[in-house]
Structure 1
Amino acid sequence: MNSIGFPKGTNVFVTGGSGFIGGRLVECLVRDYEANVTALVNRPYAGALRMCRFPVNTVFEPMTDQKAMQKAMSGCSIVFHLAYAKSGNAKEDYKVTVEGTQTLATAALKCGVDRFVNVSTAAVYGNRANGIIDETEPRIRWGWNYSDMKLDAENVVLDFHKSRGLPGTVLQVAGVYGPWGPVFTIAPLRQLQAGRVGLPNEGKGVSNATYVDDVVQALLRAAVMESAVGEIFMIKGPGRITRLEFYEHYQRMIGENDRIVLLKGTNLKSAFRSKKRAATRQLAPSAVRSLKSNPEFRAALTASGLVVPLKWACNLVRRKNAATASSLTASTAAKTNEELPLHLPPAFYGKYLAAETEYSIEKANRLLGYDPQFDIHAGMAATEQWARWARIIDCQVGES
């Protein structure tokens, strides 16, 4: 990243420094550019442990505290704003995220920063029709609290630029994965290990997958390019990667090949009904297993005189199972896999995941010189190496 032109020794303020993208940004700033970093740390504070090996000044004050943010930002020439609230209810998170951005923008103006880079999401374009879209597409509120509050935070930065001269830039990132990634790395791996994952539209939706280091590249470029001021940029990785292709990489990592369920259409109602029926079928066996370990239940069962009939019934089932075990077919073996838990996205999210919409990075390439370096194979290789190191997946699986 040394060709970006980011000045060494710069005083930088980073919000969300304990998060996934923010943590990687802080690492690169200190390691590659010898930056003097002040990082706002969000709850849970465990994420700040990644920064312990670096001389980073950490701030634990609320993002809505005007005096605290101005003090933390004092002397900094660049602000990277990645933080948002996610620990309260929807109304509380929205208030902190949007008002917090207003607080930061005001503090940035008073401190005279050279650049205010705000990280948002490409989800602000909602469930668009299939095809390639760019920044001229209307941004909308569509009912997902995360996307809606990010859209309003974007507008805060853009309004501050137009009305008060804030040197602000908005980056709309998409599908960010890689080491420490909670949503597009850790969660899919955990779900595929524990059961199956359902993908709407038979997995044809475009993931717009972006490796975290490419996002960091975009952030650094947005901080130094004059052409970035007052602009919005879509940021994604190279190529057109479907959600099926994306999940297949994780499936291979854990040594499985049948954990992905391709759901037709975008309506998840039938899948939710099937999941509910499967859960209902497990109620009785689960209750029996729980009761068997209860001493009071066992004593009452013995006193009732039902032990012998129950033992006779259980032995009959065992003999029947033993007689059919040797004749299992491929179809019955597959049925065993079907009994694994099925992980489904929230109902409102199904159409978004199904959309075959690709985001254009032409503007970012033209004005920022943004050129993503990690295709899906390189990004997933680096992600797998980390996941094995972090013991998220078995070190032995997939190794030769």
Structure 2
Amino acid sequence: MKTLLITDVSGFIGLRAAELAIAKGMKVRGLQLKTDKSSTAKKLGVEVISGSVTKAENLKKACQGVDIVLHTEQLAQEGGSLKDFHKVNVDGTKNISYTAKEVGVKTFVHLSSAMVYGFNYPEDITEDGPLTNENNPYCQTKIEAEQAILQLNSPPDFGAIVIRAGDIYGPGCIPWIVRPLHLMGQKLFAYVNDGEGVINHVYIDNLIDAIFLSIEKEAYGEVFNVTDGQKTSWKEYFLLLAETGDLPAPFSLPKDELKLFLKVRSGGQKLLRQQPDIFPEAVDFMSRPHSYSIQKAREKLTYEPAVSLKDGMQLIKQWLKTANLKKLMGK
């Protein structure tokens, strides 16, 4: 029975990873800053330790006796202060990885993002493709975090694996499910340039399957793109999402027009001392033109996405019957 530590165990990714790990017979420990959010994890049988990768307290305690660390804690939003992103995504990643190595953890899986390729990249880009920060704090800090992790790779003492996830969706996902549906319900959601380009969606369970395969195969020092392997247009995805939520189909706006609207909207929210619910930079994230190659994951990990987009949306439809989107959006 292996012991797995998951950072941000009560988050969208961490909680589902905990569920599936326990189903595999693993012992799961979680690191969570706000323990009042950890009741669901505790009910699953997760040992929850109060803390965050941004603080040194309790990191050794969290890592002690652990075989594997799955690092999911991150600041993931389209825009904001580089300082804030760096604190969590770079410094935090260094804190937890250095501590894990120091106390004898053998396997460290870093959940990165395919956004390390930026917004304009070649069709079917592979893991060897150029990394581009696009002057975006999320892209930039995910690149820096990867570099820090891979420098520590030294199996068999400490094996590091990097997973570059596509656009992760599933029940409870804020950017690709909850927020679009919430805005669609207010008739405030639009997709960009008639939905041209490709959303590189990956259903949460498919992503976690790939993570477990990388651990089982001890793919140390390797980097993997992980998506559902489908070429779905942005328009197709958002129309299907609206149908799943029983909402009217969203409309399209030119990229510059939509960006200006979101800039004005987020500026107004800031004046009211509210956290913007969507940043203007979201337009860049919602208009990427090409797909990412998952050939390496297929060949080296024998990864095959089990949940199709159609099946994933059916699971979300069931979840929406009891979900409170306003509460999930913090409204």
One-letter amino acid matched to 1:51: A
- More displaced 10-residue stretch of structure 1: 9-18 or 80-89: 80-89
Contact 2:262 2:279 in 1 (8 A): no
Unaligned runs of 5+ in 1: 1-8, 281-342, 394-400
The 3 A distance-change label for structure 1 pair 105 and 274 is: closer
Partner of 2:317: 384
Rg larger in 1 or in 2? 1
Q: Alignment partner for residue 47 of structure 2, among 38, 47, 57?
A: 57
Q: Determine the C-alpha separation between the residues in 1 that align with 2:61 and 2:283.
A: 43
Contact 1:42 1:83 in 2 (8 A): no
Following superposition, the deviation at residue 129 of structure 1 comes to 4.0
- More displaced 10-residue stretch of structure 1: 229-238 or 100-109: 100-109
1:132-190 deviation digits (Å, cap 9, x = unpaired): 11111111222222222222111110111169963100001111111111111111111
More helix by share: 1
Q: Does 1:181 align with 2:179?
A: no
Q: Does 1:29 align with 2:21?
A: yes
SS in 2 for 1:132: coil
Contact 1:15 1:41 in 2 (8 A): yes
Q: Does 1:151 align with 2:143?
A: yes
Q: Alignment partner for residue 69 of structure 1, among 59, 71, 75?
A: 59
Following superposition, the deviation at residue 373 of structure 1 comes to 0.7
Partner of 2:163: 171
Q: Alignment partner for residue 116 of structure 2, among 124, 133, 137?
A: 124
The 3 A distance-change label for structure 1 pair 191 and 110 is: same
Contact 1:170 1:232 in 2 (8 A): yes
Partner of 1:249: 240
Q: Determine the C-alpha separation between the residues in 2 that align with 1:90 and 1:29.
A: 33
Within 5 Å, give how 1:282-293 maps onto structure 2.
Answer: none
Q: Alignment partner for residue 72 of structure 2, among 70, 82, 90?
A: 82
The 3 A distance-change label for structure 1 pair 364 and 273 is: closer
RMSD across aligned positions (CA): 2.8
Partner of 1:333: none
SS in 2 for 1:106: helix
Partner of 2:225: 234
Q: Determine the C-alpha separation between the residues in 2 that align with 1:50 and 1:215.
A: 21
One-letter amino acid matched to 1:139: L
One-letter amino acid matched to 1:48: S
Contact 1:157 1:166 in 2 (8 A): no
Within 5 Å, give how 1:317-356 maps onto structure 2.
Answer: 346-356=279-289
Alignment length, in residue pairs? 315
Q: Alignment partner for residue 110 of structure 1, among 102, 112, 124?
A: 102
Q: Alignment partner for residue 299 of structure 2, among 366, 373, 396?
A: 366
One-letter amino acid matched to 1:211: Y
1:242-292 deviation digits (Å, cap 9, x = unpaired): 11111112211333343x22224xx42476369969xx9xxxxxxxxxxxx
Q: Does 1:192 align with 2:184?
A: yes
Q: Determine the C-alpha separation between the residues in 2 that align with 1:276 and 1:124.
A: 28
Partner of 1:18: 10
Following superposition, the deviation at residue 26 of structure 1 comes to 0.5
Following superposition, the deviation at residue 84 of structure 1 comes to 1.7
SS in 1 for 2:237: helix
One-letter amino acid matched to 1:112: G
SS in 2 for 1:38: strand
Following superposition, the deviation at residue 85 of structure 1 comes to 4.0
Following superposition, the deviation at residue 391 of structure 1 comes to 4.6
One-letter amino acid matched to 2:176: F
SS in 1 for 2:124: strand
The 3 A distance-change label for structure 1 pair 85 and 254 is: closer
The 3 A distance-change label for structure 1 pair 86 and 381 is: closer
Contact 2:191 2:234 in 1 (8 A): yes
One-letter amino acid matched to 2:303: Y
Following superposition, the deviation at residue 83 of structure 1 comes to 0.6
The 3 A distance-change label for structure 1 pair 75 and 275 is: closer
Q: Determine the C-alpha separation between the residues in 2 that align with 1:21 and 1:109.
A: 23
The 3 A distance-change label for structure 1 pair 350 and 36 is: same
Q: Determine the C-alpha separation between the residues in 2 that align with 1:111 and 1:276.
A: 49
| TM-score, structure 2 as length reference | 0.86
Q: Does 1:268 align with 2:287?
A: no
Following superposition, the deviation at residue 97 of structure 1 comes to 2.6
One-letter amino acid matched to 1:77: D
One-letter amino acid matched to 2:72: L
One-letter amino acid matched to 1:81: H
Following superposition, the deviation at residue 105 of structure 1 comes to 1.5
Contact 1:132 1:360 in 2 (8 A): yes
Q: Determine the C-alpha separation between the residues in 2 that align with 1:352 and 1:391.
A: 25
SS in 2 for 1:230: coil
| TM-score, structure 1 as length reference | 0.72
Q: Determine the C-alpha separation between the residues in 1 that align with 2:85 and 2:262.
A: 33
